[in-house]
Amino acid sequence: MNPVLSAEGMKINWMNYHTKIKGVYFRMDAGLKSAAISISLEHGDAEIQELYFEQFQQFKDLLHATLDEEWDWQLHVPVEGRIVSRIYKELPRVSVMNKDHWPDLISFFKPRIIALDSFWENAKYSFEG
């Protein structure tokens, strides 16, 4: 995805997208049975995590409009031994180990991470400070 610039026209590391907000991450995960892209709220303080979740809820319409689809919302769920909150979209029945699925994975991740970047360019200022 290197040829695609960010919404600001800058070079960006799409696989390690940096929101610059502590505990707020954009994640792309591909496993043996599914793939998912998410806004993952991982702040160690549950109250701050919930505050971020509520802030994202205020932008729900903008987020879904930018993504051109609705995502699932989960507050305080266990993920890999931690409690996180997340806003995500899943692609079932794909495996990163199956090369035949790679075009589906790329088609799933690429437009969504680009749309998340566009959304974040408009929303990030509400999360600073």
Of 89, 114, 113, 94, which is closest to residue 104 (Cα–Cα)?
94
| Helix pair angle (46-58, 60-67), 10° resolution | 70
User: What does the alpha-carbon distance between residue 124 and residue 31 come to, in Å, rounded to a whole number?
Assistant: 29
What pLDDT shows up at residue 1? 44
Question: In what helix (H) or strand (E) does residue 46 lie, and over which residues does it extend?
Answer: helix 46-58
What pLDDT shows up at residue 79? 85
User: What does the alpha-carbon distance between residue 65 and residue 4 come to, in Å, rounded to a whole number?
Assistant: 21
Give the end-to-end CA distance of the chain in Å, rounded to a whole number: 31
**Tens-place pLDDT, residues 12-32:** 667 778 889 999 999 999 999
The CA-based diameter of the chain, rounded to the nearest angstrom, is 44
User: What does the alpha-carbon distance between residue 53 and residue 44 come to, in Å, rounded to a whole number?
Assistant: 13
- The burial class, CB within 10 Å (0-12 / 13-18 / 19+), for 52 is buried
E-assigned strands of 1-129? 24-30, 34-41, 72-79, 82-92
Per-block mean pLDDT, blocks of 10 residues, the chain (129 long): 58 75 94 96 94 96 97 94 96 96 95 94 86
- Per-domain residue ranges of the chain: 17-126
What pLDDT shows up at residue 11? 67
